[in-house]
Amino acid sequence: TARLCGLEAGQPYEYCIKADGQCDDWHALQTDDGGAFSALIFPDSQSNDYTDWKHLAQGAAEHNEGADFFINMGDLVDNGEDHRQWEAWFDAVAGIIDRIPVAPLMGNHETYNEDWKVREPVAYLHEFALPANGSEEFAGRYYSFDYGSAHFIALDTQTEEAADFHQGLLEAQQAWFREDVKKTDKTWKIVLMHKDPLQYRITNRPDRKEGFSDEGRAWMPLFDEAGIDIVFSAHLHTYRNRGHIKDFQRDASGPLYILTGVAGNVRYPGLWVDHALDKVIAPQPETDNYLTLCVKDASVEIACFLPDGTEIDRETLRK
């Protein structure tokens, strides 16, 4: 990694990488000007063949040449220790990732070794240089960043899987979250989390809020308290616009919840059931999709598209 300091806001730059006396091509780099911006959001790109992921990513970038950065919502690869899959993932975003930043999330598939046993997400933590979160033990697992008038908070939802490695990960992360949101003065507060907060299989457990996952029960009250505007999630490989929810029920004053869908070729059609709070779902049978996020001081517009550019949903928030 290399840290570039002293750059001016809103300015175009070019960079190249030199090693062993050789220099690669020059690449464009645009710094944040603090104003309106747009971003691409890709759900799980997990694949057994990354051709579809490459087609989706490249097509989305071509249709949205002005995007300032892109987000990948976790489960970037199917197996986090299979380095051939990381090579395929990076190949798919070549020409995109070298000119605009990526904000990646860690999904459960980043925590698997080649024997499909859960372990530390070693490859993921080495592939990306992520903002510091003040924790040496949990470095890279969760982070936040500002862009334009928005504050983004990327959470680690693999707390149950990480229990064998890190005791107290959830408690430490929630304490960090409370302090992090207090420090921001940005107009919009946006959460990125891999696992979906709404339950996809209804259970008879008396301690569970019916229709909400463990992640939802742990985090949604904090989102209400912090005044979060939007919560993007993934994991279930289906697109769902759940509308605004507060105190575990429909409420226009609560955050907007968007389950982002799937960007790879892996499908889990039997994993989820329709939820009472589903407002918009993707056309069935489901295909891959991507989202655009356009943020201004007074409004945020979210749109969801199929690979061919067909729009399947659009939502606008205003302040």
For 165, the token pair is: 């490695």
Q: Provide CB contacts within 8 A for 319, sequence distance 6+.
A: 187, 188, 298, 299
Give CA 27 to chain center in angstroms: 25
| CATH number, domain containing residue 246 | 3.60.21.10
According to the 3-state scheme, what is the secondary structure of the chain?
CCCCCCCCCCCEEEECCEECCEECCCEEEECCCCCCEEEEEECECCCCCCHHHHHHHHHHHHHCCCCCEEEECCCCCCCCCCHHHHHHHHHHCCCCCCCCCEEECCCHHHHECCCCCECCCHHHHHHCCCCCCCCCCCCCCCEEEEECCEEEEECCCCCCHHHHCCCCHHHHHHHHHHHHHHHCCCCEEEEECCCCCECCCCCCCCCCCCCECHHHHHHHHHHHHHCCCEEEECCCCCEEEEEEEECCEECCCCCEEEEECECCCCCCCCCCCCCCCCCEECCCCCCCCEEEEEECCCEEEEEEECCCCCEEEEEEEEC
- Distances in Å between the Cα of 95 and the Cα atoms of 26, 90, 91, 92, 98 are 11, 10, 9, 9, 6
Q: Are 21 and 280 in contact (CB under 8 A)?
A: no
Question: Can you list the residues of the chain whose pLDDT is less than 70?
Answer: 200-210, 270-271
248 assigned to some structural domain: yes
- Phi and psi at 56, nearest 5°, equal -65, -50
Per residue in 146-155, pLDDT tens?
Answer: 999 999 999 9
- Domain of residue 220, residue span: 37-318
25 assigned to some structural domain: no
6 assigned to some structural domain: no
Q: What is the pLDDT of residue 208?
A: 52
Q: Provide CB contacts within 8 A for 201, sequence distance 6+.
A: 272, 273
20 assigned to some structural domain: no
Give me the amino acid identity at 143: Y
**Domain tally, the chain:** 1
Give me the amino acid identity at 56: L
Nearest-angstrom CA–CA distance, 278 and 269 = 16
290 assigned to some structural domain: yes
21 assigned to some structural domain: no
140 assigned to some structural domain: yes
Per residue in 61-117, pLDDT tens?
Answer: 999 999 999 999 999 999 999 999 999 999 999 999 999 999 999 999 999 999 999
26 assigned to some structural domain: no
